[in-house]
Structure 1
Amino acid sequence: MSAPTVVSAPGKVLIAGGYLVLDPAYSGVVVSTSSRFYTVVSSVDHPAPDASAPIQIRVRSPQFVDAVWLYNVDLDPALAAIRVEPHVSNTSRNKFVHLALQRTLTLAQEVLGSGSLQNSLAHGLDITIAGDNDFYSQRAQLAARNLPATLDGLAQLPPFVGTGVRLPDVHKTGLGSSAALITSLVSALLLHLRVVPAAAFAPDAPAAAEGRALAHNLAQYVHCLAQGKVGSGFDVSAALFGSHLYTRFDPAVLQPLMADEAPASPLLPIISPLNAAWNYRVEPFKLPPLTRLMLADVDAGTDTPSFVGKVLKWRKDDSERGALLQEMIHLLR
């Protein structure tokens, strides 16, 4: 049995370039956080009792109530097609996980071939996903333990503390949990299935390393697809490359793939780092030594898509003033 694959990805904070980062003409300064999402992928080491049963993938998120999802994998070597379907026993849906599995296995099949992928999947996969406590408001947990709402109080909580709620009901803190989750899950699958080498994720590997760039492009695609729109991508970029100065990619690169149903054309020609349409830029950036940024948990998130929509509408309605103001903000950074 192969060893488990563990991949973590950090959250993000955009400290400069808010809204400007949506425009490829401008950049944003994004800082990766110490808080991370973790994905553990293990191969199931025993066959199913029914030899004719489909390959099955189980995904667990132990911090939540009723957070176990089963998926059946149907490989069709003749058609070079793959389907990942939720099991009928699932009590809830997880669009982010489902799309990550479907699209990552599709790409793996294109790279490895159906036979090699089937051998890699063998008897199935067992996947566990967990996020550091800072991704979720811990006010309820602190109150339940009679702990103060301070850094010292938070430090006394156990790692990966249970939220006590179902996934849709959790209060997030805005650190980019969905991007970190998708990035860690996609990267762990690519590594476990040997689509990309582990060396691509080595600390000294350049951002342009082909394996890491492939994981970045695929994570961007899955995250955009799950959210229903092509965003700026700075959160996924931070999850892959850490702190940096980020300039977004042209959204047109993903438009041919932005449909929930499986794309009719291959993924690899579009997702590949060799596709010049992936024109994002990642430039090194580090906070000064001994600098520590802390965020307050206000237990109330903001509706970022709504805010973005209003800013874009204002810029469209008052384009001359909007362009002037954006350029002034850009020059101040």
Structure 2
Amino acid sequence: MSRVFSAPSKALLAGGYLVLDPAYSSFVTALSARMYAVTSVEEANEASVIRVESPQFESGSWEYSFRIDDSQIPLVITEKNSKRNPFAEATVHTLVNYVKPTQNYRIKVTIFSDSEYHTQDGTRLESSTNGSKKFHWHTKPIDQVPKTGLGSSAGLVTVLTTALLSIYVPNFKCNDERSLLQIHNVAQIAHCIAQKKVGSGFDVAAATYGSIVYRRFEPAIITQLVSESHLLSLEDYHRELRKVVLDTDWHFVTEKCSLPKGIRILMGDVAGGSETPKMVSQVLAWRSQKPEYSHEVWTSLNTANMALVDSLQNLKLLSESDPHAYSELISALQTYNVAQIKNLASFSVDYAARFELIINIVHSIENIRHWMRVMTRESGASIEPSEQTILLNNCNTVKGVLGGVVPGAGGYDAICLIVAASSISSIIESTKGSGESSNLDLSSINKHQFDRVSWLDLTEQQDGVLEENLEDFKGLL
């Protein structure tokens, strides 16, 4: 029986660089751009075949085969045409050695990705028969299409892991605790193998669990497994994988955390480009050279990150305890920018108290940016480069914006704003490039700064992995 699953994209709103250290927590928001995997399966005779197809891209097909043979150390995965897709290959390799199939199947997994993952130049739009799903078809191979930094590799690994588990695990459901643990742990291992390093894992965690406060696992869990795999027989490697995935406490944290009603994220692609590995190495070198001072900076940054999380949670509690007062508060946001919100304290005690939770969010974002700029100056890494500082400061002059950051590791890839949902259309209109016309009062905005910004149509997702309706994909397969 065919099934279809999806996993969301992500933005690391608070916790850049600290997410590398298990001592600190981060706030990861899952986003509405999703990666999808549609499965089909039939029995096979001599060998197992797993075909991964991505019809949106030229030459988007990879066929992996293996034989169920106890002499293999471990099961060897071979791509039919020697085509490289490290993330698909690592996922298939990890998954089949984890489940150790006892029967041969011919499996096809068709991957689709929402438009926001890649630039859309020179594409055509294809729609499902019922019009529920629309995807852009590209004229180039997947490795030649620029990405927007939403975590496409983590999304692919997570949703492909889910799809294959649904075939090999009887009565599989993707939303129970045990299944989510399997998906997360297998996908983390596969993603690290594909990257040839053990990353922080926040992107896979968000793809699995949705919007969360995340604290990473101990890297040694995966490092030891991968380093010793070539020394093990098939049975021993399978046993170690099962032990690591199901019987080892990874000590990671994935606490549900989402934005309050009426508050949205607005992501802007600035069509830049950053060398994240280089930036990470610069920051880690600075930490090594100045351990005491860097610890003070990271402690202060962590305090600011957690203050933002607490402020958002407190605002969410207000929305539940006093919906009327909360509605009035959110409605008022569209009439103020950051400077005006901060000055509300000078109006009256009652009025300022009403906005205290909003003011806390504004201050938290400002503190996060301050410490990110300190790290930029001290490490030499372009975490919040001057061009992004000017851009974010200009965003703060727009009504309905509570503040913004350069998400994740920073750099020139994107900006991320926290805004009043009701203000999004006016924010986009008022920040059109300098060549655009507008009836809004733009006297305080340097519009040239927005020439390079493309606002992405994304919303926050509370859920991670989901099972989708197969009917929505007919006509695309």
TM-score (norm 2): 0.58
Matches within 5 A, 1:149-188: 159-188=134-163
Q: Give the AA of the match of 2:135.
A: F
Q: How far has the Cα of 1:79 moved from its partner?
A: 6.3
Which residue is 1:22 aligned to?
20
Give distance in 2, aligned partners of 1:40 and 1:260: 33
> Which residue, out of 6, 9, 12, partners 1:8?
6
Which residue is 1:138 aligned to?
120
Q: Give the AA of the match of 2:163.
A: A
Give distance in 1, aligned partners of 2:74 and 2:304: 51
Which residue is 1:74 aligned to?
67
1:176-217 CA distance string (max 9 Å, x none): 00001000001110111116x433x23xx4xxx122101111
Which residue is 1:223 aligned to?
191
Which residue is 1:114 aligned to?
none
Q: Give the AA of the match of 1:230.
A: V
TM-score (norm 1): 0.82
Give distance in 1, aligned partners of 2:166 and 2:244: 16
Contact 1:171–1:299, Cα closer than 8 Å, also in 2: no
Q: Equivalent residue of 2:23, what SS?
A: coil
TM-aligned CA distance change 1:271 to 1:13, over 3 Å = same
Contact 2:192–2:199, Cα closer than 8 Å, also in 1: yes
Which residue is 1:249 aligned to?
217
Q: Give the AA of the match of 1:292.
A: R
1:292-331 CA distance string (max 9 Å, x none): 2121223333222221111111111111110000111111
TM-aligned CA distance change 1:77 to 1:33, over 3 Å = same
Q: Which structure 1 residue ranges, 5 or more long, are not aligned?
A: 110-116, 146-157
Matches within 5 A, 1:1-333: 3-44=1-42, 53-77=46-70, 81-87=74-80, 89-90=81-82, 92-109=83-100, 117-119=101-103, 121-122=104-105, 124-141=106-123, 159-194=134-169, 197-199=171-173, 201-202=174-175, 205=176, 209-259=177-227, 264=232, 265-266=236-237, 267-276=240-249, 278-333=250-305
Give distance in 2, aligned partners of 1:105 and 1:181: 17
How many residue pairs match? The answer is 294
* Identical aligned residues as a percent: 34
Q: How far has the Cα of 1:31 moved from its partner?
A: 0.3
Q: How far has the Cα of 1:58 moved from its partner?
A: 1.6
Contact 2:109–2:163, Cα closer than 8 Å, also in 1: no
Q: Give the AA of the match of 1:272.
A: V
1:126-163 CA distance string (max 9 Å, x none): 1111211100012444xx89xxxxxxxxxxxx822112
Q: Give the AA of the match of 1:321.
A: Y
Q: How far has the Cα of 1:82 moved from its partner?
A: 2.4
Contact 2:30–2:211, Cα closer than 8 Å, also in 1: yes
Q: Which structure 2 residue ranges, 5 or more long, are not aligned?
A: 126-132, 306-477
Contact 2:122–2:139, Cα closer than 8 Å, also in 1: no
Give distance in 1, aligned partners of 2:50 and 2:154: 21
Q: Give the AA of the match of 2:172.
A: A
Moved more, 179-188 or 130-139: 130-139
Larger helix percent: 2
1:69-119 CA distance string (max 9 Å, x none): 1122111146695222111x34x311111111111011011xxxxxxx243
